[in-house]
Structure 1
Amino acid sequence: MCCAPVPNIIVKVVVYQSYISWSFFLFIQQSLRKEEEEEEKMATMESLIGLVNRIQRACTVLGDHGGEGMSLWEALPSVAVVGGQSSGKSSVLESVVGRDFLPRGSGIVTRRPLVLQLHKTEQGQAEYGEFLHAPRKRFNDFAAVRKEIQDETDRITGKSKHISNIPIHLSIYSPNVVNLTLIDLPGMTKVATEGQPETIVEDIDNMVRSYVEKPNCIILAISPANQDIATSDAIKLAREVDPSGERTFGVLTKLDLMDKGTNALDVLEGRSYRLQHPWVGIVNRSQADINKNVDMIAARRREQEYFESSPDYGHMANKMGSEYLAKLLSKHLETVIRQRIPSIIALINKTIDELEAELDRLGRPIGGESGAQLYTILEMCRAFDRVFKEHLDGG
């Protein structure tokens, strides 16, 4: 026998994976081309952001989480939410959504990236959530959404306090949101606590950096107003990876908890730390409000009333608050997606060419039935026989 044949299962897996990847990229290419052709007529925030949402979900299914060369995941515009563990990051996300849905607790609560895809629905429609890992199940109870996030985190990381870069995809459909996608990352910390691995500080820093250092990533840097902005973990990191500030949106939380007689106008008006995008102030629910299950929509109204009645911030009330922040990010994300479509198409075309070349090298797939396998072996023997005879005749 000339050589040992490649095990059938390996050939089948390689061919199947290549075929699925090729089909997926072809589908995206066609979708993007259609999106581009109908841009003047149909390119809305919903269609563009929704398209990126679908591509992100497909990337996760195919195991593309970024970090390995020029991946499609990294080419997609995204909004990464970063901040220290006490920055009020979770409260900002829940205020944007208008629901309590994130796990709470001390220490590191977010241990996997949460890709939060918000879909605006018509008024009167019921709110619900869907997970990529449970596609046929609707979660109408947002307490169940919180539990599912925790359970799915534990499924990958176990009950330990380790982190994982494999994202959880959660889609929320509600009339109280704007079309927007946010990636919630673990809160940055300065020291490992009991039960955490010694490398946790470095592990979190590396994960967060792997997102925010990419040129297509919009950074939502969350900082508490009752702490010196110079000590903000989020701003320190943003300054390192985006020194010009063109990709960074600054958010100040806990404005109502500042010392009496002080305010955050120097930051909010761009004098203390200037960014190319406006700073947005947020008033979080208090712990007492959370304990009393104060309705999030009512909390939004209370937040707006705070700014409108504030002697310090009244003149900028229309550009403060979680609702304004969500609209600002949604509009900017749509603009960035529109700008990146040509480069995304170019990457997809390049990937298709590479996958087609790989398929050509692999040849025809081998059937799973014994008869098909026997036929393939006979074909290989005939091919060897022809080549052998050609060499004999030529010699």
Structure 2
Amino acid sequence: MCFNFIGIVTRCPLELKLKKTQHTKEWKGKIKYLDTVLELSNSSEVEEAVITAQNKMAGKGVGISHDLISLEICSHDIPDLTLIDLPGIARVAVGDQPEDIGMQITTLIQNYITKQETINLVVVPGNVDIATTEALKMAREVDPQGERTLGIVTKPDLVDKGVEEEIVDIVQNQKVPLKKGYMIVKCRGQTDINKKVSLKDAIQNERRFFEKHSIFRSLLEEGKATIPLLAELLTQELIEHINKSLPTLERQIKDKIEEANIKLEHCGQGVPETQEDQMRFLIEKITCFTQALSKIKEGEDVSVDIKKPKLFTRLRGFFNTWQAEIKHNESDVRDNLTEVCYFEYKYRGKELPGFVSYKTFEVIVKQQIEKLKLPAVEMLKKVAEYVQKVFIETAVLHFSNFTTFLELLRTTSMI
């Protein structure tokens, strides 16, 4: 992941896929954006193709777009590498830029650099204070340990005299440490671009610059300078990062496959074409459904969700509440027995001792039944609603792909 510090040259995320060819020296390119796929036959066509793509996606001018441009290049003299170039960070809007251009770019960059599988290249000009750069600050927010961040110092030819030693300290990872360290490169300047200096000549000029520089020459000797050495480092870093990320990626893929298999099992087999096979298929589906209901009824169902109680467990809770209500009513019954004993003592006629009249007994029993009636009805309602819920959930598991039949079961369960 590569994001610059200043200026907006890149106005859309640009994915650059470099592929090294082994048996041919032919240069080939392909650019994809929106619904457009364009073949490129020469490297000189790249710049115009990218500009055209950006203008179509972000409009002519200085606006940006979150849509990706994919540029694939195949050649014998390039490494196998994939980079994503992002717009440079802007603090204030200039010209026709929208007022929130800074926030737009920040959001776009964060969408990419927060991904743990990416390596972030923080591109910083050598003529600014790296410790205060916005790009490095953003990288540290998403990668505090600097494990995914590589610093790239540019424009060494613009470094003021007397400051070169500080740049050396930075590249040697002594000033603002990063675990992946720093590299320093000299790209083509605007003058070189205007003079149409080729990339091949620019790389040669870059190497001569570091070889002749009295201070920066040491960085070249340490393998920390020039674009070709940067490409080699990035290739090696990418290989190591892939190896490190593979176990996590493998686990994520297995989890996704398991989720997909569970969904496929729920879908079951496809509906047969012949009427006879369709009838047999329907009978099998209904049989599986009724068997599942039977297991739930017997308390033998296997629940996938361990946090969700079985039907028997939930119903037992309802009946335990009902039992508590009955026990609570016992005290009222004892009070009534006391009243019966007093009534028998005072008003007993020819009845045998211990026997009250039928009417008296009926009135007492009705009073107790009336007290238990409302709790009993409420308990029965809860049981019915929960059984209906389990019925519908089971139906969804077996007939989720058969909406009409599922709706029929829903309606039936509500009758």
TM range (shorter): 0.5 to 0.7
The alignment partner of 2:150 has SS state of: strand
The alignment partner of 1:181 has SS state of: strand
User: Measured at CA, do residues 347 and 265 of structure 1 come closer, stay the same or move farther in structure 2, by a change above 3 Å?
Assistant: same
| Counterpart-to-counterpart distance in 1, 2:186 and 2:410 | 80
User: Measured at CA, do residues 384 and 177 of structure 1 come closer, stay the same or move farther in structure 2, by a change above 3 Å?
Assistant: closer
User: C-alpha offsets along residues 30-51 of structure 1, whole Å, 9 cap, x if unaligned?
Assistant: xxxxxxxxxxxxxxxxxxxxxx
Q: After superposition, where does 1:263-342 map in structure 2 within 5 Å?
A: 263=164, 264-318=167-221, 319=223, 320-342=225-247
| Counterpart-to-counterpart distance in 2, 1:316 and 1:162 | 38
User: Measured at CA, do residues 159 and 314 of structure 1 come closer, stay the same or move farther in structure 2, by a change above 3 Å?
Assistant: closer
Paired position in structure 1 for 2:41: 140
User: C-alpha offsets along residues 198-236 of structure 1, whole Å, 9 cap, x if unaligned?
Assistant: 221011111111221232221111111112223322222
Task: State the one-letter code of the partner of 1:217.
Answer: T
Paired position in structure 1 for 2:156: 255
User: Measured at CA, do residues 234 and 360 of structure 1 come closer, stay the same or move farther in structure 2, by a change above 3 Å?
Assistant: same
| Counterpart-to-counterpart distance in 2, 1:192 and 1:131 | 30
For structure 1, which segment, 286-295 or 148-157, has the greater mean C-alpha deviation from structure 2 after superposition? 148-157
User: Measured at CA, do residues 349 and 110 of structure 1 come closer, stay the same or move farther in structure 2, by a change above 3 Å?
Assistant: same
| Counterpart-to-counterpart distance in 2, 1:195 and 1:282 | 32
| Counterpart-to-counterpart distance in 2, 1:155 and 1:135 | 10
TM-score (ref. length: structure 1): 0.63
Paired position in structure 1 for 2:287: none
Question: Post-superposition shift, 1:154?
Answer: 3.5
Task: State the one-letter code of the partner of 1:121.
Answer: T
Question: Post-superposition shift, 1:109?
Answer: 3.2
Question: Post-superposition shift, 1:258?
Answer: 1.3
Is 2:3 aligned against 1:82?
yes
8 Å contact from structure 2 (residues 2, 84) kept in 1? yes
Task: State the one-letter code of the partner of 2:9.
Answer: V
Paired position in structure 2 for 1:151: 52
Candidates 123, 135, 139, aligned match of 1:234: 135
Question: Post-superposition shift, 1:150?
Answer: 2.8
Structure 2: gaps of 5 or more residues: 283-401
Candidates 65, 68, 75, aligned match of 1:164: 65
For structure 1, which segment, 277-286 or 120-129, has the greater mean C-alpha deviation from structure 2 after superposition? 120-129
| Counterpart-to-counterpart distance in 1, 2:267 and 2:150 | 47
Higher relative contact order (CA 8 A, sep 6+): 1
User: C-alpha offsets along residues 251-310 of structure 1, whole Å, 9 cap, x if unaligned?
Assistant: 111111112343021212222212112311111222221111111111111111211222
Paired position in structure 1 for 2:259: 354
The alignment partner of 1:115 has SS state of: strand
8 Å contact from structure 2 (residues 170, 176) kept in 1? yes
Is 2:107 aligned against 1:202?
no
Is 2:127 aligned against 1:243?
no
8 Å contact from structure 1 (residues 83, 233) kept in 2? no
Task: State the one-letter code of the partner of 2:120.
Answer: I
TM-score (ref. length: structure 2): 0.61
Paired position in structure 1 for 2:83: 182
Question: Post-superposition shift, 1:381?
Answer: 10
| Counterpart-to-counterpart distance in 1, 2:158 and 2:192 | 14
| Counterpart-to-counterpart distance in 2, 1:232 and 1:381 | 58
Q: After superposition, where does 1:219-230 map in structure 2 within 5 Å?
A: 219-230=120-131
Structure 1: gaps of 5 or more residues: 1-79, 87-107
RMSD (Å) for aligned C-alpha atoms: 3.4
Paired position in structure 2 for 1:115: 15
| Counterpart-to-counterpart distance in 2, 1:173 and 1:251 | 25
For structure 1, which segment, 343-352 or 204-213, has the greater mean C-alpha deviation from structure 2 after superposition? 343-352
| Counterpart-to-counterpart distance in 1, 2:11 and 2:269 | 43
Q: Using the aligned pairs only, state the percent identity.
A: 32
Residues paired across the two proteins, number: 285
Structure with higher Rg: it is: 2
User: Measured at CA, do residues 326 and 265 of structure 1 come closer, stay the same or move farther in structure 2, by a change above 3 Å?
Assistant: same
The alignment partner of 1:227 has SS state of: coil
Paired position in structure 1 for 2:380: none
